[in-house]
Amino acid sequence: MRLHVLGSSGGYPASDNPSTGFLLEHGATRLWIDAGNGTFAVLQRLTDFTQLDALVLSHLHPDHCADLYSLHIALRYRVDGALRLPLYGPPGTLEALGGLLGADGAENLGATFPFHAVDAGDTVEVGDFRLRFLRTDHPGHTLAIRAETDAGTLTYSADTGPNADLAGFAQGSDLLVCEATYQEGKVGAPVHLTARQAGETARHAGVRELAVTHVWPTFDPQIAVVEARSAAGDIPVRWARSGEVFTVGSGPAAEI
Ligand SMILES: [Zn+2]
């Protein structure tokens, strides 16, 4: 399994880092996970968007889903013929996002994106992946995602405050991609984690590697790495920089 970081800026894009999004591939399956603003441009440098197998949204805050509108245009008005792409997201996704497209917006989006509502406790098979979900501690309906394959397991925190059992959900993962919005002495609304809390979560979950993501754009991500490391024990920690690639577990992975 391989994870390509499209963008990882928390809240809004930085000048050199789009908002949140990842391309996750294993075997013949390619999933686009979260479509924050700026991620579609990066994705197109890595793969043909018509070859994706699904788009998966953790929640409906714009820094995690705004580029769905661009993908909708690209698929629906494609010169060589419209295409459709399965969409997995929290209940009510089409209605919420369709609102921006007018009275028939939900129907319009649904024509492009056959929609599968997912929620805490669900398990869905998408190509070579088995996906599980956890409701997180974050405004709106936000879902952490655990992606399992025959070769390894990745858990993505989505956005969350400290009051969710992310460590239990991520237990034994090869890679935990965990939000680390805040830093020591720089803490805003309690709907996100600090880098130290991300490190503690990784240690409690017993993961093999931690990637810190969703760092607030005006903060230094290397400080997030240092603070996460201070709480993560001997677990390796890296920043999920845009362009970074993580090999997760072992076994075959499609080449891009
Ligand atoms: Zn959010």
CA 75 to chain centre: 21
Q: How many A from CA of 61 to the centre of ligand 1? A: 5
Domains of the chain: 2-241 (3.60.15.10)
User: How much of the chain exceeds pLDDT 70, in percent?
Assistant: 98
pLDDT, average across residues 204-233: 98
Answer yes or no: are the C-beta atoms of 34 and 22 closer than 8 Å: yes
User: What's the pLDDT at 56?
Assistant: 99
Q: What is the largest CA-CA distance in the chain?
A: 53
- Residue reference for tokens 């001997």: 234
pLDDT band at 24 (very low <50, low <70, confident <90, very high): very high
Q: How many A from CA of 1 to the centre of ligand 1? A: 26
Q: How many A from CA of 241 to the centre of ligand 1? A: 19
User: What's the pLDDT at 137?
Assistant: 97
Strand runs labelled E in 63-199: 87-89, 115-117, 123-126, 129-135, 143-148, 153-156, 175-179
Q: How many A from CA of 243 to the centre of ligand 1? A: 22
* DSSP H or E run through 75: helix 68-76
Strand runs labelled E in the chain: 2-7, 21-26, 29-35, 54-56, 87-89, 115-117, 123-126, 129-135, 143-148, 153-156, 175-179, 209-213, 237-239, 245-247
Q: How many A from CA of 59 to the centre of ligand 1? A: 7
Show the tokens assigned to 51: 């070859």
Q: How many A from CA of 252 to the centre of ligand 1? A: 33
Q: How many A from CA of 133 to the centre of ligand 1? A: 16
Q: How many A from CA of 27 to the centre of ligand 1? A: 30
Flag the least confident range among 144-148, 155-159, 178-182, 185-189.
Answer: 185-189
Work out whether strand 209-213 and strand 175-179 pair parallel, antiparallel, or are unpaired: parallel
CA 180, 183, 188, 190 torsion: positive or negative?
Answer: positive
Residue 220 has pLDDT above 60, yes or no: yes
User: What's the pLDDT at 254?
Assistant: 47
Residue 1 has pLDDT above 80, yes or no: yes
pLDDT, average across residues 64-90: 98
Q: How many A from CA of 70 to the centre of ligand 1? A: 20
User: What's the pLDDT at 11?
Assistant: 97
Q: How many A from CA of 180 to the centre of ligand 1? A: 12
Q: How many A from CA of 254 to the centre of ligand 1? A: 30
- What pTM, to 2 d.p., does this model score? 0.96
User: What's the pLDDT at 250?
Assistant: 80
pLDDT, average across residues 74-92: 97
Residue 253 has pLDDT above 70, yes or no: no
